[in-house]
Amino acid sequence: MKTVNPKSYELQVKSTTENLSLIRDFIQNNALKRGVPQHIIDKIILAVDEASTNIIKHAYHSKPDGDIIIQLEFSFDKCRIILIDFGDGFNPSVIPQPDMPEYFEKRKVGGLGLHLIRTLMDYVEYHTDKGGYNQLTIAKKIKNSAA
């Protein structure tokens, strides 16, 4: 068994959509430094953007003074991102996977964020802590040539 120390990075921002570009740059720059292929970085960026947008809109109801903490961690074959907020929690199991033909048939709008996260990432886990925070953990396998 090869042991590689995971490397982790953290970003803390306020809950405004203005910060989405900052969040995307944070993922892009650090993943690139770790040699993650761009097509995988693109998927991680979109998943984290969607998760952050959901936090801003649904956990903080678009109030700009909430905190979002994003931890980014790389191990030899995996990138893991933990998003923490202190707003309202939700139960992801009550949000079904949308049926896309029906979605288009009924010309629905919105609700695609969680579906995208589930589609783009290999692992998704959501947890509301009684201590007053919510934690979304998502992970993606990466082929790291440095490993």
Partner 1 sequence: MSDFNTALRENDDVQVIELCGYLDAHTAPQLESAFSDLISKKKYKIVANFEKLKYISSAGLGVFMAFIETIRENNGDIKFASMIPSVYNIFDLLGFPMLYEFFNSEEEAINKFKHN
Q: How many CB atoms lie within 10 A of CB 54?
A: 17
**Closest approach of partner 1 to the CB of residue 20, in Å:** 5
C-beta of 53 vs 137, nearer to partner 1:
53
From 2, 93, 107, 131, residue interacting with partner 1 (rule: CB under 8 A): 107
* 4-43 as b/e: b if 16+ CB within 10 A: eeeeebebebebbeebbeebbebbbebbeeeebeeebbeb
Q: Which of 31, 56, 79, 121: binder of partner 1 (CB under 8 A)?
A: 56
Q: Is 34 in the site for partner 1 (CB under 8 A)?
A: no
Name, in order, each residue with C-beta under 8 angstroms of 33's C-beta and a sequence gap of 6 or more: none
Crossing angle between the packed helical segments 38-54 and 113-120, to the nearest 10 degrees: 150
Binding to partner 1 by residue 119, rule CB under 8 A?
Answer: yes
- Of the ranges 43-51, 87-95, 124-132, 135-143, which one interacts with partner 1 (CB under 8 A)? 43-51
Task: Copy the structure tokens of residue 84.
Answer: 């923490």
| Alpha-carbon span 134 to 45, nearest angstrom | 20
Q: Please tell me whether residue 53 binds partner 1 under the rule CB under 8 A.
A: yes
With CB under 8 A as the rule, give the number of residues binding partner 1. Answer: 29
- Which of these ranges, 41-49, 65-73, 84-92, 126-134, lies near partner 1 under the rule CB under 8 A? 41-49
Question: Distance (Å, rounded) from C-alpha 74 to C-alpha 36?
Answer: 10
Which stretches of the chain bind partner 1, using CB under 8 A? Answer: 16-18, 20-21, 24, 39, 42, 45-46, 49-50, 53, 56-57, 100-101, 103-104, 107-110, 112-113, 115-116, 119-120
